[in-house]
Structure 1
Amino acid sequence: MSELRFTEDHEWLRTEADGSVTVGITAFAKNALGDVVYVQLPELQSYAKGDEASTVESVKAASGVYMPLDGEVLEVNPALESNPELVNEDPLGAGWFFRFKPADTTQVDQLLNQDAYDRLIKANAEA
């Protein structure tokens, strides 16, 4: 398993052995949303960086999940359709949203590492 990377929008990314990238929302995002009750998964198509690829709804609010890089969605997590609670139980594991093939794999390494993401969360908490 490779090192997780993060976006400022609180998505996590993990590069898989086949070069695809798995995406989900962080525990911080899940905690901010409250209990997740519905996930709209993306279509299997190409998206540009910043496009809203998915939507997550909780008891508190609905929020977009944004495409972290240009790429093509290859697979979605079918378990979330019948069991969106997986995001609550295991946001960094079984609660993943989709896998995509990035247009440029080197861009993954330019995203936030764990230390940088932790600093972002701390700065948000202090603001």
Structure 2
Amino acid sequence: MTSMTTQQELFQFLEDRFACAQACTECARACALRASLMDPDGTEEQELVRRKGIMCAEVCDATCRVLAEQNRLDEDGIRVQLEWCRLVCLECAQVFERQPGGEEGAKACRDCAQACTDFIATLA
């Protein structure tokens, strides 16, 4: 019975890992798109949106790569990466929400943050 539970836990772990990586990919796309819509010579707020979008896309991309590598980082390293990604996504969502048309990007950021939170719970 123990091996069955262990196998089920492993499947859940892998599903959560994949869901998190997929959410990171979607968030990176949404953030890169939102950042590309901002004029680099625009207002200070537009520059903030552009910078946050680029940073969030890069952090999500890095997190996705970490999750794709099987044994490169230990569990603590993965947890740190996920927490960093979660925080950056939440910050980016707040910035996007203040922009007209930024709802979709903000939602992708919040979804990614939630996927990171869910996956961190499987590491505990």
What range describes the TM-score normalised by the shorter chain of this pair?
Answer: under 0.3
Q: TM-score w.r.t. structure 1 length? A: 0.25
TM-score (norm: length of structure 2): 0.26
Greater fraction helix: 2
The answer to which structure has the higher strand fraction is 1
Find the structure with the greater CA-based Rg: 2
